[in-house]
Homo-oligomer: A and B are copies of this chain.
Amino acid sequence: MKVIKFGGSSVASAEQLKKVLAIVQDDAKRRFVVVSAPGKRHSEDKKVTDLLIAYYEKAAKNQETTSLIEEIAERYGSIAQELGLDVSVCEAFASEIKSLQKDFDESDPYILDRFLATGENLNAQLIAAYFQHEGVKARYINPKELGILVTDEPHNARILEESYEKMYQWHNTEEILVIPGFFGYTKEGQLCTFSRGGSDITGSIVAAGVKAEIYENFTDVDGIFAATPKYIHEPALIEQLTYREMRELSYAGFTVFHDEALMPSFKAKIPVVIKNTNNPTCTGTMIKESYDRENPNRVVGVASDSGFCSITINKYLLNREVGFVRRVLQILEELNISFEHMPSGIDTVSLILRESQLTPELEKVLLKEIEERICPDELEVEHDISVIALVGEGMKFHTGITAESSAALARKNINLRMISQGADERSIIFAICGKQERLAVRSLYYTFFD
């Protein structure tokens, strides 16, 4: 049995929902259908979730909301109409949307979550009605009925472990269950939404809960590419990769979805496939615990991300001082700054961190604290650094990846600010000057692909 999830653009219009139905019907094992709120139908369109946020803000300010309510209801109404559904469905939706603002109490910590979740919740009801209308044995199921229990953290809920057992009771369902993504309920019955990755995380949780043989994640791209199309024209599609590779690629610049959302499936060792609603015959990208074949690719992908900075501390004999680095990290921790990498020379240690964490003031405080408490011989900051990750489980079976990749960068005169390859040999991380990011990704990509 399979859990299948459709993202916002896959459920944005009647035309898209017809594709969804065809996909669901194409395989009788597809019993759990997790859906997002309607996304954009074209680049200028608005997502229903964004309309709901606007509606929430107006309601909070006690402003006129009628036109927004109509706009939201109309998104569902037009789909329903085009699909030939009974208008009564959408009348009920309109009144449900309208009732959100009744007794609006801004101090209620759950109120925003109720607004937000409405997009998914109504869409699941609409899609279930459409399926039934087409003679499919399907029904909407509320996350509470399904057993999705979450922590009491509005907009930032996490799944409670006991949910999995509850969900497993549904694993033999005869009906197709249409599930709204993005939210669950606290033990006290309050609706709370997940932090990020919305419906992705619901799909991943349900797949783990019902012990699906696969979690099919339908998006609007063919799968995961070996490099970003931003830099590479028609990059290679990755046919298969491991959870870890996925994670390492996501770390630096892969935005197909938020990799944390897939964790529940990963932990339950359920394979995940990324497919395209608009091109369902494409095999997509399969993400599994490990490779089926013995000799995986040397490199599966090249990812990059900008907006890092490095702080380099020079101090004579620093690695003889037990606790030296710990004291540096203590300062970071006190200022609530996390770091990504810490390459070290003999008397040198550099910290690579995300620049977004630092305001100019915080940077000053950080440097002052290091200066005063660590007394370095030299202290240097460099901004606008990009990090490139070359990822592949196969690296450990092939010597020379470091040589090939650094040679590729050297040929393009790209100077390495840092290179780090850890003992697990799944990735090589390069830090380079931000201006050279595109050039670096291209030179690495064309070294290992094509």
Contact = CB atoms under 8 A, between A and B. Distances in A.
B247 A343 contact: no
Contacts of A248: 345-347
Given A323-B333, A344-B422, A420-B343, A400 B410 contact: yes
A293 interface: no
A345 B426 contact: yes
Interface in A337-363: 337-350
B342 A247 contact: no
B316 A337 contact: no
Interface stretch (A39-47, A50-58, A324-332): A324-332
Interface stretch (A138-146, A229-237, A411-419): A411-419
Contact of A421 (B319, B342, B416): B416
Interface string A68-110: 0000000000000000000000000000000000000000000
A402 B416 contact: yes
A410 B420 contact: no
Given A326-B333, A403-B409, A422 B418 contact: yes
Nearest to A260: B317
A407 B400 CA distance: 6
A346 B416 contact: no
B329 A323 contact: yes
Contacts of A409: 399, 403
B413 A399 contact: yes
Given A338-B321, A342-B325, A402-B416, A423 B350 contact: yes
Contacts of A424: 312, 314, 345, 348, 350
B422 A349 contact: yes
A122 interface: no
B410 A417 contact: no
A34 interface: no
Contact of A326 (B320, B330, B407, B417): B330
Count of chain copies: 2
A263 interface: yes
Contacts of A321: 338
Contacts of A427: 345-346
Given A312-B424, A420-B420, A319 B345 contact: no
A294 B316 CA distance: 25
A28 interface: no
Given A260-B317, A322-B333, A427-B345, A407 B416 contact: no
Interface string A385-415: 0000100000010011011101111110111
A419 B419 contact: yes
Contacts of A338: 319-322
A196 to B, nearest CB: 12
Interface string A231-272: 000000000000010011001000000001001000000000
B333 A423 contact: no
A170 to B, nearest CB: 27
Contacts of A416: 399, 402, 421, 425
A372 interface: no
Contacts of A251: 346
A76 to B, nearest CB: 37
23 contacts: A244-B347, A247-B346, A248-B347, A251-B346, A263-B316, A312-B423, A319-B340, A320-B338, A323-B333, A325-B339, A325-B342, A326-B329, A329-B329, A343-B421, A345-B420, A380-B423, A400-B410, A402-B416, A403-B408, A404-B410, A416-B421, A417-B423, A419-B419
Given A323-B329, A344-B422, A345-B427, 10 more contacts: A244-B347, A247-B347, A248-B346, A322-B333, A343-B343, A346-B429, A349-B422, A396-B415, A402-B410, A404-B407
Closest CB pairs A-B (n = 6): A400-B410, A403-B407, A326-B329, A403-B406, A345-B422, A402-B406
